[in-house]
């Protein structure tokens, strides 16, 4: 109902009377008044006068009703430990496909390889619960699909030269703009759920040791609206999930990557691989050409770009 009230108010620059809204939505004027009061408490600027209600502005908060017309069921938390934890609980207790958990900030945001993910107010932090009808071995391709969709959305919305870095980071130049974490559980040969968590630096300025970072605000000189980015991404990603073009996702991803043909150091829990990133195979593994001319396939890890001198040492 809040989404419908906002839609009516936003479509009308003049004040709209309680009576008109009540007729339009088929609920009582008292109930409308209660919803408006709640919206005001949530940060919406709605002017109430004897003429009626007038929309004057809204907060950049991804409340669920902002996504009423979109493909996903969105849950918003002002603060969470980690959206990955909430999404896992929801997935295990049977939430529908394309449930999205989004947080204003995270107390213990998680990055890959058990690293913390800086999650101050201003960034976009969310985890999608997906239940695609595919075997677990194909799940990496869906994560590649998510980073591919995100890089295209960011280029399209902001005109930035964003690129994907294996496996699913998004960089602009050498600065990290976004990171992605995937978790899954499977019932025999079918995914039970695949949770994809995304952190995007929007109006925050994370400082991470040993890592250059960038934010959309820093890149554009503006204050991008997080809920618009999320809505746009979810809409494009839902199309990807409907079409599920898993046979061509990796080849398309390669058109947007800065990883290939460059010296890399790939760190996993138990080893480090140094060489030239030669290819990303169809299963999502990174093919690295080693110094002795042989190749090694790396399934998972953090990839660091090396400059030539570092590499030669």
Which backbone phi and psi does 93 adopt, to 5 degrees? -95, 20
Report the alpha-carbon distance of residue 245 to residue 216 in Å, rounded. Answer: 29
Closest distance between ligand BTN and the C-beta of residue 253, in Å? 16
Q: Which of residues 100-139 bind ligand BTN (CB under 6 A)?
A: 106, 109-112, 115, 117, 125-127
Closest distance between ligand BTN and the C-beta of residue 126, in Å? 6
Say how many residues touch ligand BTN, by CB under 6 A: 20
Residue among 46 and 86 whose Cβ is closer to ligand BTN: 86
Closest distance between ligand BTN and the C-beta of residue 109, in Å? 4
Report the alpha-carbon distance of residue 207 to residue 124 in Å, rounded. Answer: 16
Query: Interface with ligand BTN includes 167 (CB under 6 A)?
Result: no
Closest distance between ligand BTN and the C-beta of residue 127, in Å? 5
Residue among 110 and 227 whose Cβ is closer to ligand BTN: 110
Residue among 158 and 300 whose Cβ is closer to ligand BTN: 300
Pick the stretch among 7-15, 175-183, 216-224, 285-293 that binds ligand BTN (CB under 6 A): 175-183
Among 16, 32, 65, 82, binds ligand BTN (CB under 6 A): 82
Question: To 10 degrees, what angle do helices 18-25 and 2-10 make?
Answer: 120
Among 46, 63, 72, 83, binds ligand BTN (CB under 6 A): 83
Cβ pair 300, 167 in contact under 8 A = yes
Residue among 36 and 206 whose Cβ is closer to ligand BTN: 206
What is the pattern of x (binds ligand BTN, CB under 6 A) and - over residues 37-76? Answer: ----------------------------------------
Among 197, 206, 263, 301, binds ligand BTN (CB under 6 A): 197
Query: Interface with ligand BTN includes 180 (CB under 6 A)?
Result: yes
Pick the stretch among 55-63, 148-156, 178-186, 260-268 that binds ligand BTN (CB under 6 A): 178-186
Binding stretches for ligand BTN (CB under 6 A): 82-84, 106, 109-112, 115, 117, 125-127, 169, 179-181, 197-199
């Amino acid at each position: 109902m809040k989404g419908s009230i906002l839609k009516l108010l936003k479509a009308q620059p003049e004040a709209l009377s309680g009576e008109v809204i009540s007729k339009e939505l088929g609920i009582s004027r008292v109930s409308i008044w209660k919803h408006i009061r709640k919206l005001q408490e949530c940060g919406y600027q709605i002017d109430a006068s004897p003429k009626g209600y007038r929309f004057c502005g809204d907060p950049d908060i991804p409340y669920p009703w902002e996504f009423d017309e979109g493909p996903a069921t969105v849950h918003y938390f002002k603060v969470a430990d980690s959206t990955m934890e909430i999404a896992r609980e929801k997935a295990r207790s049977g939430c529908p496909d394309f449930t999205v958990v989004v947080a204003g900030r995270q107390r213990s945001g998680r990055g890959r390889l058990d690293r913390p993910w800086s999650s101050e107010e201003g960034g976009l932090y969310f985890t999608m619960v997906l239940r695609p009808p595919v075997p677990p071995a194909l799940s990496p391709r869906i994560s590649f699909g998510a980073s591919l969709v995100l890089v295209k959305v960011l280029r399209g919305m902001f005109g930035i030269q964003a690129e994907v870095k294996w496996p699913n980071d998004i960089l602009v130049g050498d600065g990290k703009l976004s990171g992605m974490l995937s978790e899954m559980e499977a019932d025999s040969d079918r995914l039970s759920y695949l949770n994809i968590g995304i952190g995007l630096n929007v109006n925050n300025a994370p400082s991470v040791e040993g890592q250059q970072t960038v934010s959309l605000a820093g890149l554009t000189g503006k204050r991008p609206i997080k809920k618009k980015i999320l809505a746009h991404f979810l809409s494009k990603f839902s199309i990807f999930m409907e079409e599920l073009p898993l046979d061509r996702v990796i080849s398309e991803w390669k058109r947007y990557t800065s990883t290939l043909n460059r010296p890399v150091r790939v760190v996993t829990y138990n080893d480090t691989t140094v060489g030239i990133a030669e290819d990303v195979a169809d299963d999502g593994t990174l093919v690295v050409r080693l110094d002795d001319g042989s190749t090694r396939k790396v399934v998972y890890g953090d990839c660091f770009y090396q400059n030539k001198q570092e590499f030669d040492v």
